[in-house]
Amino acid sequence: MSLLAQSMRQVLRHTTQRATLNGAMRALSINQKLQQQNKPATIDVAAIAKEHQQECQTVCERINQQVAKSEQGRLFAVVHLCGKQFKVTPGDIILVEGYWPPTTGDEISLDKVLLAGARDFTLIGRPMLDAGLVMVKATIIEKTLTHTKTHFKKKRRKQYMRINFQRSPNTMIRINSIELTRPLDGMAEAEAEHSIRLF
C-alpha cells in the first residue's frame, strides 16, 4: 500500500490535471473502484509534492553522510559498454566482443553508468545516472582473438558445400575502481530528468 501511495504521489507531483491522472491510474492498473473513491476527494498536490521532495532529500543526506565517512563499502555499477550491459565491481574482469580500438595498458573510464549501488543504497538512472556522478575506472589487459569458429554449409544432393573459418577480436578489461565523485543533491536529482546527453 505504501508503494501505491508513493507512486500516486509521484504521479501527482507531475501534474494537476485529472484527465492525465486517470490515464496514469489506468497505467498503474488500479481498479475502477479505487479510482471512484478518489474522484470526489480534493487532494492538496503541492503539499504531497513537498513531502515527497523532503523524503528524497533526507534519503540523499543519509547517503551523503555514509559516503563522507567512507562507510558505504564496496560499490557496484551497471555499465553500458559496446552495446552490452555489465554489472561490475572493483577487481572484475569483463570482455568486449568484436572490434574495439583501445589497446592493452590503456586506462579508460566507463561513462555510461545505468545503476550504482552499495550495501545500503542503490542509485538508479532514468535511464542513465548523471555524467560524472559515478566514476568507473578500468584498464585494458588483453586483446586477442577467439578460438576458430567453423561455418560449414551443405545442401544435400545439390553438390553444394561451403566451409569458412572465422576468429573475431576479444578485449579483456579489468575494473579498477568505482567511486562516487560528488555528494548527491536531492532536489537536483529529482528534477534532472531532462539532462542533455547526446549518447
Partner 1 sequence: MSLLRSIAGVIALARPINSATTVQTRRHFKRWVSPTLRELAHRVKKQGVQKPEPRSGFVEWNYRSELFAFGKRLNEDFQLPLLQTAFTQRTYAHQEQERQRKLGIAEADLQMGDNSQLATKGVHIAKAYIEAYLQNALPKVPPVGQQAIASYLLSTETLAHVCTHLGAKELIFSTEYPPSSETLAQTLHAIIGALSDSSGVERAFLFVRDFICTQLNQKDLLEIWTPEQPLQLLGEICTQKKLGEPEPRLLGDCGKNTVLAAYHVGIYANRQLLGKGFGEDLQMATETAAIDALQTLFEMHDDRQPFDFRLQLEAKNVRLD
Partner 2 sequence: MSNSHLFLKSGFPRAPLQNGVGRYVCQLQRLTLKFCKNNGSSRGMRDFIENHLVDFAKENPGIVVYVKPRRHRAPVLVGEYLNGDREWLSVRNSTQTEISKWIDLLKTQNGSSSSLRLRKMWHTDVPSIQGPWTPFLLRSPDAHNQTYPTSEASQPLDVPQTATEKLIELFKQQQLEADTVLEQKRAE
What is the footprint of partner 2 within residues 150-179 (CB under 8 A)?
150-152, 167, 170, 172, 174, 176
What is the footprint of partner 1 within residues 30-89 (CB under 8 A)?
70, 72-74, 89
CA gap 141, 22 in Å, rounded: 54
Residue 93 binds to partner 2 (criterion: CB under 8 A): yes
Residues in CB range of 95: below 8 A, 6 or more apart: 170, 171, 172, 173
Report the SS3 class of residue 47.
helix
Instruction: Give the other-Cβ count within 10 Å of 43's Cβ.
Output: 14
Q: Least distance (Å) from partner 1 to the CB of residue 134?
A: 15
Q: Which of 97, 113, 111, 116 is nearest to 171 (CA)?
A: 97
Terminal-to-terminal C-alpha distance of the chain = 37
What is the footprint of partner 2 within residues 33-92 (CB under 8 A)?
73-76, 84, 86-89, 91-92
Q: Which of 8, 67, 78, 118 binds partner 2 (CB under 8 A)?
A: 118
Q: Least distance (Å) from partner 2 to the CB of residue 101?
A: 12
Residue 139 binds to partner 2 (criterion: CB under 8 A): yes
- Residues in touch with partner 1 (CB under 8 A): 70, 72-74, 89-92, 118-119, 176-177
